[in-house]
Amino acid sequence: MYHTIHDLPTEERPRERLIASGASSLGSAELLAIILRTGSGSENVLQLAQRLLATFRGLPGLAQATLTELQTVPGIGPAKAVEIKAALELGRRLLAAAPEERPHIKTPADAANIVMADMAFLEQEHVRVLLLDTRQRLIKICTITIGSINTTAFRVAELFREAIRENAAGVVVFHNHPSGDPNPSKQDYDVTDELIKSGKLLGISVLDHIVIGRNRYVSLKESGVAFPAN
């Protein structure tokens, strides 16, 4: 069992991947693993990072968690909890000081890379949305709803309420398939069509709807079915 980052095969080590390909090429779990350094019990450090993200429903929830709440997760003691909070606070301050440094979403891959590590292994279906400004830079990531083991129902109004509150110009919608198969269902296409129509009425562009599976995703925009041709 690989316990620390150094125990992982070289090609799988987040630190080496960051050096070779840059920080933006790593998922959230890999970046978090660099901060954590070691796993817990039979869990390797990447598994611990993934469990942390799943427990707090992604980076937004992790950022909002208190030190006490972080330490309720097995393997997270006072030192690791403090390091996590310090890293997230630095990120928050950077965005506040330099909004131009916010991620720029140009492609489905840009968008998927932000949530892939967080959503790929969730046991329930989550609906999340990236809120973007007029330059398609990230404003905020919101969890809209969490469903049962294999289905989620949400009202379109819930999704756009967050977009309106943050004055977003566009959104990218995500949901995961706990089965691991990201191929869209008919319902996924129907929901996407409804989202596009509602977005037009509100003046908010629905840029994509991406289905997350096990380490792969399907962009409905790229599929060319739900979205109108440009």
Residues 111 and 217 in one domain: yes
Residues 63 and 120 in one domain: no
Model pTM score: 0.62
* Overall average pLDDT of the 133-144 stretch: 89
Q: Is residue 218 part of a domain?
A: yes
Residue ending a domain, among 50, 72, 100, is 100
* Overall average pLDDT of the 96-110 stretch: 76
Residues 109 and 33 in one domain: no
Q: Which residues make beta-bridge pairs with 38? A: 4
> According to the model, what pLDDT value does residue 2 have?
46
Taking 60 as the threshold, does the pLDDT of residue 159 lie above it? yes
- Rounded CA separation 220/175 (Å): 12
- Rounded CA separation 57/144 (Å): 11
The span from the first CA to the last CA of the chain, in angstroms, equals 50
SS3 sequence of the chain: CCCEHHHCCHHHCHHHHHHHHCHHHCCHHHHHHHHHCECECCECHHHHHHHHHHHCCCHHHHHHCCHHHHCCCCCCCHHHHHHHHHHHHHHHHHHHHCHHHCCECCCHHHHHHHHHHHHCCCCCCEEEEEEECCCCEEEEEEEEEECCCCCCCCCHHHHHHHHHHCCCCEEEEEEECCCCCCCCCHHHHHHHHHHHHHHHHHCCEEEEEEEECCCCEEEHHHHCCCCCCC
Q: Is residue 129 part of a domain?
A: yes
Write down the mean pLDDT value for the chain: 84
Q: Looking up tokens 């030190």, which residue turns up? A: 67
More confident position, 229 or 165: 165
Give residue 65's domain range. 5-100
Structure confidence at residue 73 as a pLDDT band (50, 70, 90): very high
Residues 139 and 213 in one domain: yes
Residue ending a domain, among 100, 125, 149, is 100
Q: Is residue 229 part of a domain?
A: no
- Rounded CA separation 99/189 (Å): 34
Q: How many domains does the chain have?
A: 2
Taking 60 as the threshold, does the pLDDT of residue 150 lie above it? no
> According to the model, what pLDDT value does residue 230 have?
56
* Overall average pLDDT of the 6-28 stretch: 76
* Overall average pLDDT of the 47-66 stretch: 86
Structure confidence at residue 4 as a pLDDT band (50, 70, 90): low
